[in-house]
Amino acid sequence: MEIERIQVGALNSRAIIYNGILYMSGTVADDKLLPMKTQTEQILAKIDAVLAQAGTDKSRILSATVYLADISKKDEMNEAWKEWLAGDRPPARAAVEVTLTPNTLVEIMICAAI
Amino acid sequence: MEIERIQVGALNSRAIIYNGILYMSGTVADDKLLPMKTQTEQILAKIDAVLAQAGTDKSRILSATVYLADISKKDEMNEAWKEWLAGDRPPARAAVEVTLTPNTLVEIMICAAI
Amino acid sequence: MEIERIQVGALNSRAIIYNGILYMSGTVADDKLLPMKTQTEQILAKIDAVLAQAGTDKSRILSATVYLADISKKDEMNEAWKEWLAGDRPPARAAVEVTLTPNTLVEIMICAAI
């Protein structure tokens, strides 16, 4: 079976599609000067765009790993997450604190059904 | 193809089932005052319960990510893990130290075949 | 459907194959005294060997999570990663800093299409 790729870079592809599942790279905000909530909003908008490109949407996300630079700001991330879900039933998820590249407050990696 | 969900919450579903695979949210112990080994035992019991609800069991786990709050206590987690496997052949696994919410010593995220 | 396993250990299997997908355990270098780039090279060689055993190869990796002990050395890991790709189109990927067991500088967990 063929592997499809979206936005192929030198180090990673933005997303890989195989057998009806989309595997997305960790997504970060473009503007690293934003606080946690707005960085999360930027990420979720970018995820929406890639999902749309693959013909799917956030209601079909299967699993998400949320990497936070500061777990004490988890509630701020969750505010953006909840507004974004907008009543859609949520995926499986884990959220943990790791160290990210400087000024990156949050990075989200998902897989979704097409 | 339809996506099934187990225990749908506001932020995440306990588990998502799609195309024969169950994706479970990161699971933590209910009693955060317990030491590493017993927190792990609580988590594994909760994982067993969700797997049973989906009609599968621990022998069909494909992959597990174990997030430890203190990697120097990895052996304590592994004791509980080994007793729980009870001779079942184990999944693919990674175990790393991250920062979790206060008093959470371990969090485990798995996917399993139905 | 049957689950196949490669190198079954007491705590984890090196890899699990199910429904055309291989789930590999987190892979670390054998020689922990090596610097970041050469630890990464050792890991990627080990991943190649397991993929070959399953009848697939690095061009069919779907997703990779790279756990670094020091994110300031991400570029050194990326050098080894880029040389290894050798023009193959890359998978989805995230790279974050966590705490690993002593002297382990990098650990990589992948899933791949068979």
pLDDT, tens digit, for every residue of A12-34?
Answer: 999 999 999 999 999 999 999 99
Task: Confirm or reject contact between B18 and chain A (CB < 8 A).
Answer: yes
Q: Tokens 């060997």 label which residue?
A: C49
Every domain of chain B and the residues it spans = 4-113
Do the beta carbons of residue A11 and residue A80 sit within 8 Å?
no
Contact C26 B89 (CB under 8 A): no
Residue C88: the pLDDT is 81
Residue A16: the pLDDT is 98
- The nearest alpha carbon in chain C to B100 belongs to C98
φ and ψ of A8, to 5 deg: -80, 120
- The nearest alpha carbon in chain C to B72 belongs to C101
Q: Number of Cβ pairs closer than 8 Å across A and C?
A: 72
What interface predicted TM-score (ipTM) does this complex get?
A: 0.97
Q: How far is A82 from chain B (nearest CA, A)?
A: 6
Query: Considering only CB atoms, which chain C residues are within 8 Å of B85?
Result: 10-11
Q: Where are the beta strands (DSSP E) in C4-74?
A: 4-8, 13-18, 21-24, 61-68
pTM for the predicted model, two decimal places? 0.98
Residue B88: the pLDDT is 81
| Pair type for strands C21-24 and C106-113 | antiparallel
Nearest to C18 among B62, B82, B95 (CB): B62
Contact B98 A95 (CB under 8 A): no
Contact A90 B23 (CB under 8 A): no
Q: How far is A78 from chain B (nearest CA, A)?
A: 7
**pLDDT-flagged residues of chain C (< 70):** none
Query: Any residues with CB less than 8 A from the CB of B63 and at least 6 apart, and which?
Result: B91, B92, B93, B110, B111, C16, C23, C111
Nearest to B3 among A65, A74, A113 (CB): A113
With a CB-CB cutoff of 8 Å, which residues 37-76 of chain A face chain C? 65, 67
Do the beta carbons of residue B13 and residue A92 sit within 8 Å?
yes
Q: State the fold for domain B4-113.
A: 60s Ribosomal Protein L30; Chain: A; (3.30.1330)
CA distance C100 to C98: 6
Q: Which of A23, A63, A107 to mutate to test the interface with B (most CBs of B within 10 A)?
A: A63
Q: State the fold for domain C4-112.
A: 60s Ribosomal Protein L30; Chain: A; (3.30.1330)
Q: Among residues A78, A73, A71, C14, which one has the least CA distance to residue B67?
A: A71
Contact C98 A98 (CB under 8 A): yes
Taking only the tens of pLDDT, chain B with its 114 residues reads 899 999 999 999 999 999 999 999 999 999 999 999 999 999 999 999 999 999 999 999 999 999 999 999 999 999 999 999 988 899 999 999 999 999 999 999 999 999
